[in-house]
């Protein structure tokens, strides 16, 4: 089992940048695919980005490609999401999650509590 705690959310102006972080505890962190899932009010959950255990394969939703970067540090049990060029539509609660599937099949077996990101225009 993995416990996940997000941090780094907040309010940022459109066009700005923000980095959210996820601290993981538990065993075998490097065995998990890690990802970020977001949910905005009135919208379905969206898998934003995923990264395999060895960081060899990354997936990004089309809406964030070229703007967001996912990374992980297995030595520190950390996952990051660097968000640049933020837009109003990026406003959402961002959840860190762990799974054994990646990309569009990422299903978030374990979840954090979420961190709110608000983008103002």
Per residue in 8-60, pLDDT (tens digit) is: 999 999 999 999 999 999 889 999 999 999 999 999 999 999 999 998 999 99
From the list 66, 53, 63, 48, the residue with the least C-alpha distance to 103 is 48
- Burial of 99-114, coded b for 16+ CB within 10 Å and e otherwise, reads beebbeebebebbbeb
CA distance 85 to 105: 26
76-93 per-position pLDDT tens digit: 999 999 999 999 999 999
Q: In the structure, what pLDDT confidence band is assigned to residue 108 with cuts at 50, 70 and 90?
A: confident
Q: What is the pLDDT of residue 104?
A: 87
CA neighbor of 18 nearest in space, from 113, 91, 121, 112: 91
Q: Across the strands, what pairs with 19?
A: 82
Dist. CA 88–CA 86, nearest whole Å: 7
């Amino acid at each position: 089992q993995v416990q996940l705690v997000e941090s780094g959310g907040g309010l940022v102006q459109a066009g700005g940048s923000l980095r959210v972080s996820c601290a993981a505890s538990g065993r075998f962190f490097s065995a998990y695919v890690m990802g970020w899932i977001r949910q905005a009010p009135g919208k379905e959950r969206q898998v934003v980005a995923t990264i395999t255990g060895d960081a060899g394969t990354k997936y990004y939703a089309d809406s964030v490609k070229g703007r967001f970067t996912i990374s992980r540090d297995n030595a520190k049990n950390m996952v990051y999401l660097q968000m640049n060029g933020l837009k109003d539509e990026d406003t959402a609660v961002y959840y860190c999650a762990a799974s054994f599937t990646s990309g569009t099949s990422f299903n978030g077996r374990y979840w954090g509590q979420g961190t709110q990101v608000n983008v103002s225009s």
